[in-house]
Amino acid sequence: MAEKKRKKEISTASRLSVAPMMDWTDRHCRYLHRLLSHRALLYTEMVTAPALVRGGAVHLLDHDAAEQPVALQLGGSDPQELAQAARLGQAAGYPEINLNCGCPSDRVQSGTFGAVLMKHPGLVADCVAAMRAAVTAEVTVKCRIGVDDQEPREVLPAFLEQVAQAGCQRVIIHARKAWLQGLSPKENRDIPPLDYALVLEMAQAFPDLQISINGGVQSLAEAETLLAQGLSGVMVGRAAYHQPWDILAEADARIFGEARAAPAPEDVARAMLPYTERHLASGGKLNQITRHMLGLFAGRPGARGWRRLLSEQAHRPGAGPEVVEAALAQLEPAA
């Protein structure tokens, strides 16, 4: 019964999620985002199954319980290795294990995982089946609409059919193709055109599959519009990182219907201080946390001073919470 309740909670949380982003959505970033929204689903950076299973790098699974609900994203293509990695993830407390079938970087291509798996839907289905057999946590897939010269209207339905038959009940679709040759990972986030219409069609064609959309969403209002068109969830990437207050502060009320006032960004910044002090006491550095806070006041008078002071001071030896307080002093009072 508890497992059923947990799956329902994680499914509900996926109405709005923050995308897994390498070098960005680490545990410090997620702690900040959780202060802004109690309800949105957060994701780890991609962790490779070989690193966990063969490399023993279980420290990559470390997170604060306060981050929950948070999903673990895995990269890999060996069903049994992914199954073992999923077991480790579940044991570490993650209620969702997500398989990356969307990353276009050279590094993941050489390992035959990420977006290249769009060319191997049968293998993806085997991976999903093995992971589902290994854990009770929710097993999900994040994919593209296609890669290279594939025709998305042909390959995407076939891909979804196979992963659904393997037992996957939720898929996050980045509404762009990935070009594995000729475009960098950064260019793959902008240049291939978005095809929201196709993702919306898939939501209609697969009514038993929860489909979330990812790619290009810049505001909470856009997320609301997409949800109103029949999608199960919206995943926001760079906008949630660069403008976290704008995307997340009102999400609990507007997306989840919770009677919660948006927290003031100043209060969020100060709420990070006890966490920051614990991190410093354990040998960490201030800028490992404050680099994720630069966009907290995006659009506010004084935001440039906030960013400048943190950028210049937080990396210095001995820098502590007083740097954050000094940066807050750069802000003008909210109107």
Cβ-contact 143, 99 below 8 angstroms: no
Distance CA 231, CA 255 (A): 13
Structure tokens at 68: 């929950």
Q: Are strands 138-144 and 170-174 parallel, antiparallel or unpaired?
A: parallel
What the block records as the tokens of 137 is 């946590």
Cα separation values, 173 from 6, 74, 142, Å: 23, 16, 6
Q: Which amino acid is at 125?
A: A
Query: Which residue among 29, 101, 103, 143 is the active-site one?
Result: 103
103 catalytic? Reply is yes
Tell me the C-alpha to C-alpha distance, in Å, between residue 30 and each of 119, 225, 231: 32, 25, 24
Q: Are 166 and 126 in contact, with CB atoms under 8 Å apart?
A: yes
* Interatomic CA distance for residues 249 and 263, integer angstroms: 6
Helix (H) or strand (E) holding 48: strand 42-48
Residue 100 φ/ψ, nearest 5 degrees: -80, 115
Which tokens hold the place of 207? 């009514």
Residues annotated catalytic, as ranges? 103
